[in-house]
Each structure stands twice: as structure tokens, then as C-alpha cells.
Amino acid sequence: MKRTPDLRLVTLGLLAVVVMGGVGSCAAESSGEDPARWVAQVTDAHRVADEAIAAGEGEAARAALLGAAEASAPAGVAAEDARVARQDAYFRLAQIALGDDDAEGAERYAGAGLGLGVEPDVFTANLYIARGRAREALGRELEAATDYHEALKINDALLARLLGTEREAGER
């Protein structure tokens, strides 16, 4: 008995192409870029933002920093480095928004940055300060005070570490 060409096999083949294409794009998204290229993109974003702010082009600055904030780092970049780079971009976005009297936007950017992780470093402390300023501008003083307090705790720990390091260096 003659077998007609099986449309199910054709469908399977198409499904395979779609699935593999999805996997490939996932792979490309997470590991396709060279880490050095990613570093260049991060530094360029801040340079472009600086030039745009100096030229009074807030939108261009925002666009450059948003790209750096939202882009995922390639697989060869340590997660901590990627977090810090993105948080720094979100901090600058929050600062720009506060300068434009966009407190809600500033709170959103700062919140997004803090959502990437909270660590006792300068970048996390900056985000707490930016969110505190935004919440203060929105009339939420208690929440703002909490954020400022968190920033100061980190700042104090960093200062203690720095002074301890300096003390050790002085004793040698």
C-alpha cells in the first residue's frame, strides 16, 4: 500500500527549526558577545551620556544609559561585575530623572537597580540615596528616611574598611 508523504514529519521538521532557533537565540543572547566588547559598550554609554548632558540632550543621555542598564552581560562576565555596571547606569538614570522633576521615574529606576541585588558597595548606596530623594520628593518621608539610613549604613561600613586598610598600611 502506497504511503503518502507524511505531513506530520514536515510539521516535526518545522517544530525542530523553531525550537533550535529559539535555543540558538537564547544562547546568542547570553553568550554571543565578547566580554571586551561589553566593557566597551558600558564605557561608551557613559561617555555618550556625559556628552549629551553637557549638550543639554537629556533624551540622548537617557537612551544611552538605558541601553547599559537593561542589557544583559555575556556569559564570560562575572555576575557581580554585570550587576555593578547596570546599577551604576540605573543610578545615573535616576539622577537625570530627578533633575527633570520626574520623581516617579527616578524611584522606578532606582528600584530597578536595587532589584539587581543589594551589596555593601558604593553603587548600592548610591541607589538608596537616589530612591530616598525620589520618595522625599513624592512626600513619602518615612520611606525616604529608611533609604537614606540604608545608604549611610553601607557608607559607614565602607569608610571603616577604608580606614582599617589605611591603618594597616600605616602600621607597616
Partner 1 sequence: MRDVTDDDPDPDELREAEALARALERGVDPSGDLPDDAFSAAALLRYGTVDGALSDERRDAILEEVLSTARAPRVEERAPLLRWLRWLVPVAGLAGAAAAALLVVQLQTQVAPSAHAELPPPPVELLRAQASAAGRATPEAIAELDRRMRGYRGAFHGSLNERYGR
Chain residues binding partner 1 by CB under 8 A are 8, 12, 15-16, 19-20, 22-23, 26-27, 30-31, 35-36, 38-39, 42-43, 46, 50, 75-81, 84-85, 88, 91, 95, 121-122, 125-126, 128-129, 132-133, 136, 148, 151-152, 155-156, 158-159, 161-162, 165
Rounded to the nearest 5 degrees, what angle is found at the Cα of 99, between the Cα atoms of 97 and 102?
40
- The distance of closest approach from Cβ of residue 50 to partner 1 in the complex, given in angstroms and rounded to an integer, is 8
- Measured from the CB atom, the residue of 70 and 161 that comes closer to partner 1 is 161
- The distance of closest approach from Cβ of residue 160 to partner 1 in the complex, given in angstroms and rounded to an integer, is 10
Q: Is 117 exposed, middle or buried (0-12, 13-18, 19+ CB in 10 A)?
A: middle
Q: What are the b/e assignments for 38-52, b being 16+ CB within 10 Å?
A: beebbeebbebbeeb
Tally of CA atoms within 13 A in the half-sphere of 29 that contains its CB = 9
- Measured from the CB atom, the residue of 22 and 115 that comes closer to partner 1 is 22
- The distance of closest approach from Cβ of residue 63 to partner 1 in the complex, given in angstroms and rounded to an integer, is 19
Instruction: Tell me which H or E stretch contains 96.
Output: helix 79-99
- Measured from the CB atom, the residue of 88 and 112 that comes closer to partner 1 is 88
Q: Residue 10 and residue 7: Cα distance in Å, rounded?
A: 5
- Measured from the CB atom, the residue of 72 and 104 that comes closer to partner 1 is 72
Rounded to the nearest 5 degrees, what angle is found at the Cα of 109, between the Cα atoms of 131 and 28?
145
- The distance of closest approach from Cβ of residue 108 to partner 1 in the complex, given in angstroms and rounded to an integer, is 18
- The distance of closest approach from Cβ of residue 54 to partner 1 in the complex, given in angstroms and rounded to an integer, is 12
